[in-house]
């Protein structure tokens, strides 16, 4: 927050108008208010600028709404007759699924931390030797004979889970649309 003297030295016409406009809308901090009132009491330029802002604000208050066609309400009411109010979004987002995903994420982080801490060489007191980055290498060779079986098993489970969840999601959506 600038003090009044700094404000006076660095303020250009646009900043002055912005301050005066905020003054008009009673949106100033106590320091700014003090400064604006001081300037308005002593500075003719500020008084003229404020007068102009007041006139413009009065003009803007005169703004009028546009009117749509006479049939507008009737058209809207006819359109909504064929519509059904949708269920609120939070009723079909299953909180248990979100909790399950969150829990899984936390579990992965926890397992990683436990594994990483277990890799620290606590014995050596001269050099603090951390083997954190030496994670076990996983063979992703497509050759089934070469690769490790559990990796393919995991992939298969993930793919099956994905299809099951996708099917559940789409059938729920279909059911929701028809109700």
Partner 1 sequence: MSAESDILIINEVLRGKHQAYAQLVERYQQYVFTLAFRVVANREDAEEIAQDSFVKAYRYLADFRQESKFSTWLYTIVQRNAISFLRKKQLDTQPIDNKEFLIQENGNSLNTLQSKSDKQMINEALSLLKADDAAIISLFYLQEQSLEEIGQVLAIETGAAKVRLFRARQKLKQVIESNFVELKQNIH
Q: Which residues of the shown chain bind partner 1 in the complex (CB under 8 A)?
A: 14, 17-18, 21-22, 27, 55-56, 59-69, 72-73, 75-77, 79-81, 83-89
Comparing CB distances to partner 1, the nearer of 64 and 142 is: 64
Distance of closest approach, residue 62 Cβ to partner 1, in angstroms? 5
Q: Three-state DSSP class for 122?
A: coil
Q: How far apart are CA 35 and CA 8, in angstroms?
A: 8
CB of 69 to partner 1, least distance (A): 6
Task: Count CB atoms within 10 A of the CB of residue 36.
Answer: 21
Query: Which pair of tokens denotes residue 129?
Result: 């030797």
Query: Which whole-number Å values give the CA distances from 123 to 9, 113, 120, 126, in the listed order?
Result: 65, 19, 9, 9
Nearer to partner 1, 75 or 171 (CB): 75
How far, in Å, CA of 86 to CA of 108, rounded? Answer: 37
Minimum distance from residue 101 beta carbon to partner 1 (Å): 23
Query: How far is 17 from 19, CA to CA, in rounded Å?
Result: 5
Measured CA to CA, the distance from residue 29 to residue 23 in angstroms comes to 9
CA angle 48, 52, 57 (to 5 degrees): 145
Of 42, 22, 43, nearest in space to 33 by CA: 22
Minimum gap (Å) between residue 20 Cβ and partner 1: 10
């Amino acid at each position: 927050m600038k003090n009044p003297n700094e404000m006076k030295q660095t303020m250009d016409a646009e900043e002055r108008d912005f301050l005066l406009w905020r003054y008009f809308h009673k949106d100033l901090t106590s320091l700014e208010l003090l400064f604006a009132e001081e300037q308005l009491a002593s500075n003719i330029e500020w008084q003229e600028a404020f007068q102009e802002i007041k006139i413009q604000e009065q003009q803007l208050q005169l703004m009028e709404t546009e009117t749509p066609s006479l049939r507008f309400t009737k058209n809207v009411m006819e359109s909504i007759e064929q519509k059904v109010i949708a269920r609120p979004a939070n009723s079909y987002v299953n909180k248990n699924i979100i909790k399950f995903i969150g829990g899984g994420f936390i579990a992965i982080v926890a397992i990683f931390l436990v594994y990483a801490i277990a890799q620290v060489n606590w014995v050596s007191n001269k050099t603090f030797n951390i083997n954190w980055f030496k994670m076990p290498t996983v063979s992703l060779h497509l050759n089934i004979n070469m690769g490790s079986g559990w990796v393919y098993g995991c992939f298969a489970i993930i793919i099956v889970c994905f299809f099951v969840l996708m099917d559940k999601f789409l059938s729920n959506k279909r059911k929701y649309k028809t109700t």
